[in-house]
Structure 1
Amino acid sequence: MSLPLTRLLRKLLHVAAKPMRHAQGKDGYVIHAYRGYGSHSEAFLMGRIFRQPGSRSQLAPGAGRDLMDVGRRMLRWGKSGVEVEVALGDNRTTAITDRDGYFSVHLPLDEPLEHQGQWHTARITACPPKQPPVEGEAQVYLPPISTRLGVISDIDDTVMYTGVANKLKMLYRLFIESAERRTAFPGVAALYQALHEGDDGQQQRPLLYVSRGPWSIYEMLEVFFQHNRIPVGPILFLREWGLTLQRPLPRRSEDHKQALIEKMLGLYDEMQFLLIGDSGQHDPEVYAEVVRRYPGRICAIYIRQIGDSDSRKAELDRLGEELAALGCVMLLSTDSLDMAHHAHANGYIDAASVEMVRAEIEHQLADEPA
C-alpha cells in the first residue's frame, strides 16, 4: 500500500474514532450534542443519544486503539424515545429523541443568564427508560445585543475547494495534501475572522455556516475548520439525510439553505445579513429570492466564481443588475481580497484586516508548489 494511501487511512481512522474517544470508553448511553445558537430571548440546540458498547482495552493510543473505537462506533445505535432535559442557566425544557436518536430543543430564555459573554454552557440530562440518567454539555452561542450584522456562508466550494459533493477529493485534500495550503480558498481565514470581529475588533458577529452534507460529517468539517484556522462560528447547519416513507429523499439543498436564512432573519430580527456563497450551485438564485422576500435585510452578497461558463456569467450579470435595483450589491469574484475591499469600503471590517487578507493570500500562494 502506498504511503499517501496509508496516511489517508490512518487519519480517516483517527477522525472516525474521535466521538468514541470523547465518550471515554464507557458503555451504555452517551450524549453527542452539537453547538447551539440563539438570541437573548431563545436558544436552539440539537444532538443525539446513542447506546454503545464499552471498551476495557488497555491499548495505547494509536491505530490499534482507533480501530477498536471505530468498531465501537459502528456498533452503537441511536436510541428513540429517550427523554432529554436541557438547562441553560435557570431555563429548562425537555424533548424526546426521534427514531434515529436525535433530539432538537427550542428553549425560551425567560430567566437571565449569569454572564453576558457569547458562549454559554448548556447542561444536558438524558433519562433512558429503566437506566440511570446520563449527563453531558453543549456550547451555545448568543451574539451581543449590540450586534447589527450577521454572516451566513456556504461551505462547499465557497470556503473549501471541494465539498461533500465530491467526497473523495475532499478527503484527499483534507488528509493527504497540506490542509492549510489546499483545502481552503486563499484568504478565507483572515476574511472570516475580520467579518466576525468587525471594524473595531469587538463585534463578535454570528458566523453561521451551512453545508449540503449530512450530520454524519460534522466532525470532519470541524477538523477542516481547525486545520485552516477559520473561525468556527456558533454552529454548522447540515441536512437531515434520514430516509423515511414521508421523505424518501434528502431535502433539496437550496430549500434547506433558504429555510435556514429565513429562520435566522426571524431570530435576529434587528440584524442585517451578509450572505456568502459560490456560483456553482444555486446560491445566487437562493440569495436573490431572500432579497426579494425580505427587503432591506440583506446588505450584500459575495459570490465566489468557480469556472463559470459564458452563459452562466450572463445569468449572474442579469441577476446582479436586478439585485442592484433592489438596493443589494452582489459581488462576483474569485478573490477573497475583492470581498475584503468591499467589506472595508462599507464599514464591515477595518483597513488592517484588508492587509491581513492580502498577506494571507500571498503567503498561501507562495507556499503552493510550482
Structure 2
Amino acid sequence: MSIATLAHRVEMALDSILPVDRNPSPVIQAYLGYSSGAEIIIRGRVLADIAASPVNPGSSVFANACAMARNFATWELANIEVKCGTVNAVTDEEGYFRLALPRSNFRHGENYITLLNYDCEVAADAMVTSSLARFGVISDIDDTIMKTEAWALHRNIWNTVTGNAHTRHIFPDSAELISQLHDNINPVFYVSSSPWNLYRFLTDVFARNGVVKGPMFLRDLGIDDNKFIKSSHGSHKGAAIDEILAANPELPFVLMGDTGQHDAQVYLEVIKRHPGRISFVALRHAGYVDADDEAALKALEDSKVPCFQSSSFSDLDAFNPGQD
C-alpha cells in the first residue's frame, strides 16, 4: 500500500469519526464560471455552513489568524445533488461540483444553483468571452499580482496568516497592466497554486483593489488515493492553462507570472504544447532563481514569443499582443 493510499484512508476514517452535525446547513460556494464553445462551465463546492470571522484594517494578528483558519476549517458535503436549470451534478468527496450549461440558455442574473432536498440557492455567474475579444490574459496570482513571498515557505505562511482582505498588498503595476490588457473586452483568467479554500478571500482582495474580475483556477489540496495533494504546482498550472486555451481556441493569450515559483518552466512547456497560441510572456522578478529556472528563462528569450522580465511591470512599454 502506498503512503498516499494510506493517508487517504486515514483522512476518510477521520471524516467518519470526528464529531459533526449530521444535519448540517449546507452552503453553495459558486465560483465564477466561463464559456467553452457551446457551454458555460460553472464550478463550485458545497460545504457545511461555518460563520465567517469579521476583520477590518486594524484587526490584530490573532484575529487575522483566526479568520484565515476558518477558511480551512471546512466540512465538505459529498454526494449532494446540485442542479442549475436542467443540468444536474453530484458533489465529490471534497464537495466539488462541475456543471456544463447550454450557452444558449445562460442569462446573467437569471441562472441559479440549487440543492436537492435542501432549501439552498445561489446565483450562477460566468464570464462569457466576447466575439470581439482580440486576445486573452492568463495570470498567476502569488507574487505576480499579490505579494505573498511564496518562494519562501515561512514568509508565505506569515503573510497568509497575519494579513486580511483589507491589508494584503496588491502590486499596482499588475492591476494596471491587467486593466490595460483587459480593455473592457478581452477575457482575463487567474491560475494559482493557492487552494480553493481561499477563493472567497482572493475575490474580496481583488475587489477591494480594483483588480479585473475573472474566473480563477485554484488547487485542491485534499488527499486522494494516489497522492497527498491532488496536483503539483507545475502540473496544476499547466493543466489549467490547457483548459483555458481549449475553451478559447480562437484566441492568442498573454501569460503573466513571476520568477519565484517556476512560472518560466511552466510557460515554456505551454508554448511547446500550444505553438502559436501564446503571443507574449511577462514575468516579475521575485525570489531565488535556480539553474532550471535560468535555463527556462533563457529558452523563453530564445523562443519566437516575446518575453519581458523586470521587477516591475511599469517598465513594460505599451504593446498590443493581439496584433501581429
Which bracket does the TM-score occupy, shorter chain normalised?
Answer: 0.7 to 0.9
1:219 matched to 2:200? The reply is yes
Question: C-alpha distance in 2, partners of 1:29/1:310?
Answer: 45
- In structure 2, the residue matched to 1:126 is 115
Q: Deviations over 1:227-275 (max 9, x none)?
A: 3221122x22111111122333341111011111111111100000000
Q: TM-score, normalised by structure 2?
A: 0.77
1:45 matched to 2:42? The reply is yes
Question: C-alpha distance in 1, partners of 2:69/2:307?
Answer: 48
Q: Deviations over 1:163-198 (max 9, x none)?
A: 56512124445568x54xxx122422221111111x
1:39/1:120 CA distance change after superposition, 3 Å: farther
Q: Give the gaps of 5 or more residues in structure 2.
A: 1-23
Question: C-alpha distance in 2, partners of 1:248/1:30?
Answer: 26
Q: CA deviation at 1:74?
A: 8.5
Amino acid of the structure 1 residue aligned with 2:255: L
- In structure 2, the residue matched to 1:328 is 305
Question: C-alpha distance in 1, partners of 2:55/2:314?
Answer: 42
Structure with larger Rg: 1
Question: C-alpha distance in 2, partners of 1:71/1:184?
Answer: 22
Question: C-alpha distance in 1, partners of 2:278/2:201?
Answer: 30
1:245/1:307 CA distance change after superposition, 3 Å: closer
1:319 matched to 2:316? The reply is no
1:76/1:156 CA distance change after superposition, 3 Å: closer
- In structure 1, the residue matched to 2:187 is 206
- In structure 1, the residue matched to 2:284 is 304
Question: C-alpha distance in 2, partners of 1:308/1:163?
Answer: 10
1:167 pairs with one of 157, 160, 163: 157
1:42/1:163 CA distance change after superposition, 3 Å: farther
Amino acid of the structure 1 residue aligned with 2:120: V
Question: C-alpha distance in 1, partners of 2:250/2:285?
Answer: 30
1:260/1:121 CA distance change after superposition, 3 Å: farther
1:196 matched to 2:182? The reply is yes
1:320/1:168 CA distance change after superposition, 3 Å: same
- In structure 1, the residue matched to 2:77 is 79
Count matched residues: 290
Amino acid of the structure 2 residue aligned with 1:225: F
Greater per-residue helix proportion? 1
Q: CA deviation at 1:70?
A: 10
1:33 matched to 2:30? The reply is yes
Question: C-alpha distance in 2, partners of 1:275/1:113?
Answer: 29
Amino acid of the structure 2 residue aligned with 1:124: I
**Contact 1:95-1:104 at 8 Å conserved across structures:** yes
Q: Deviations over 1:127-156 (max 9, x none)?
A: 0xxx34532212111011221300000011
**Contact 2:37-2:247 at 8 Å conserved across structures:** no
Q: CA deviation at 1:304?
A: 0.8
Specify the SS of the correspondent of 1:30: strand
1:122/1:308 CA distance change after superposition, 3 Å: same
**Contact 1:40-1:142 at 8 Å conserved across structures:** no
Q: How does 1:103-252 map to 2 (within 5 A)?
A: 103-109=97-103, 111-113=104-106, 121-127=110-116, 131-162=117-148, 165=153, 166-172=156-162, 174=164, 178-179=167-168, 183-197=169-183, 202=184, 204-233=185-214, 235-252=215-232
- In structure 1, the residue matched to 2:11 is none
Question: C-alpha distance in 2, partners of 1:216/1:330?
Answer: 32
1:259 matched to 2:257? The reply is no
Amino acid of the structure 2 residue aligned with 1:261: I
- In structure 2, the residue matched to 1:16 is none
Specify the SS of the correspondent of 1:251: coil
Q: CA RMSD in A?
A: 3.5
Q: Give the stretch that moved more between structures: 74-83 or 270-279.
A: 74-83
Q: CA deviation at 1:322?
A: 2.8
- In structure 2, the residue matched to 1:23 is none
With a CA cutoff of 8 Å and minimum separation of 6, indicate the structure with the bigger relative contact order: 2
Question: C-alpha distance in 1, partners of 2:269/2:68?
Answer: 43
Q: Give the gaps of 5 or more residues in structure 1.
A: 1-26, 55-59, 350-370
**Contact 1:155-1:211 at 8 Å conserved across structures:** yes
Q: CA deviation at 1:316?
A: 5.0
